[in-house]
Amino acid sequence: MTSFQTGSGPTALRIMLGSQLRRLRENKGITREEAGHLIRGSESKISRMELGRVGFKERDVADLLTLYGVADGEARTAVMDLVERANEPGWWHRFNDLLPSWFQAYVGLEEAATRIRTYEVQFVPGLLQTKEYARAVITAGAAGIGPAEIARRVDLRMERQRVLDRPDGPIFWAVIDEAALRRPIGGAEVMRGQIQHLLELMRLPGITIQVMPFSYGGHSAEGGAFSILRFGDKELPDVVYVEQLASALYLDKREEVDRYSEVMERLCAVSTTPEATVEILQKIISDRL
């Protein structure tokens, strides 16, 4: 059985617990419909549980563990303790009215991760954004939303960034497409501040930034942005996060994670070294800003 560390965020624990229940079910060859029938629910309910999108009732989880053949008392107790913790709200609970359910899960995983590797095509990654840049990005995509809500969305993004300041915060490794750095989000002054902020962040030991330059041409990640999150417990699988227009994919099957990991390795291999990243960021400032 998988063990879970106390530092994991509640939403992250829901996803991890759901993933574990899914693996137990699949190992027994039990369908979602069969599992749903056992807990007086539906196939859809099992699906939502396995994706971490709903809370977990202790009775439901206990019944599922029995169905899946988990008889060891210690293993069952560990999972049931996790159920209680996973249902507790995280710090981002006060922003729930702003966060779509599919993104709440990511914030929880972000809090729990020990390493985050991300490839971004259109924008500077959220954890690396300045307040002014974040406001410009959010405003551009917030048609019909008032200033007060935009301000709260910016506050949420700034709150997320605190994860990088924690002593036990994750190692963060970003590959950013050059197009994202040359796109004038918010105007020249905002972009100048953003790129200077990236240069400052690169001095921190836990942050690595590379740039995928225009000069390279086509590459292996032309399908779009994604992130790979790793956790302290080696028994927990890495999770690949792929954001879509109005939803997101959370992938943790070995073959899926391996495919994205290979793409990330190739991206890192052909992108700028940290030293060359400094040069290209300075050149962008001098060329355009």
Task: Kindly report, residue by residue over 80-103, the tens digit of the pLDDT.
Answer: 877 877 777 778 778 888 888 778
Contact 120, 70 (CB under 8 A): no
pTM summary value = 0.75
Half-sphere exposure of 141 (CA within 13 A, CB side): 12
pLDDT at residue 4, rounded to an integer: 32
Segments of the chain with pLDDT less than 70: 1-12, 217-223, 233-235, 288-289
Distance CA 53, CA 113 (A): 19
SS3 category, 244: coil
Distance CA 129, CA 133 (A): 6
Bridge partners, 228 (sequence order): 117, 240
